Structure 1
Amino acid sequence: MEDVKKNATQQQLENNPNLVSGDTGYKSSTICVNRIGQIIVYEVTDAELTILEEGDNGGIYLNVSIALFSICITLLTSIATCEFKSAIIKGFFIASIAISLIIGVIFLILYSNSRKKSKDMYKKIRNRNE
């Protein structure tokens, strides 16, 4: 009985190439494999790996910097558009703008330095094989 089912399914597949086994109606997928001409292996020391790991913190520095600049712009817009009845509140806003701007610039510099270190290390590692 099982052989009859297999033969019937094979006949259906031969008659209708759009069907796959199981009569699902889906076409079978095509897999394309391209070979790589060569693989280059780079030797890396522990110190270099440490520097590359530190470069991963650059994204965090950039995110914090962008957040602080956004806070600074929001506070600056508030000062420009609102009237403050108390000088203490206005002073708090001005101090918050200055602090967020300064810390944002510091984090932006940290990001820039981290990115530069990583790029230099990648260049150094790649230039070894040349």
Structure 2
Amino acid sequence: MNAEKVMAMDEGDFAADVVRNKFLEHLADSMSLISSNGSRLHCASLADTSRMITMMRDIASGIVATAESQGLPSIAECGLELQRWCRLALHNEDLEVMRCLIPQIKEAGNELAREADRLCVNHKWKSSRRD
């Protein structure tokens, strides 16, 4: 393989790493934000709770698709877990059941954020995030 092809492959790998890293950064931040907002659901109406859980389920669906296309199977699995809890909560259509499942939904979101943080290769970003 000539040097130009090797350089092109390195640049392609670098670009893929940058895209993957940005995805993981935004994912970790988004999951942290969603998880903190989940605390408010304990006093929300059925419609508001349902809307928030539906939003989390839809976000998880997008995360799974993106993670699979980016070659991040552990992120995809965490996203599927979040989807499962959201679907279970929405399937019941009962406010009390939804409220009982909120801790599991939040934990699945937190696990997704932790996994994204763990996989993020930008160590400077990881250290500044914890400050």
Q: Which has the higher helix share?
A: 2
TM-score (norm 1): 0.38
Determine which structure has more spread, i.e. the larger CA radius of gyration. 1
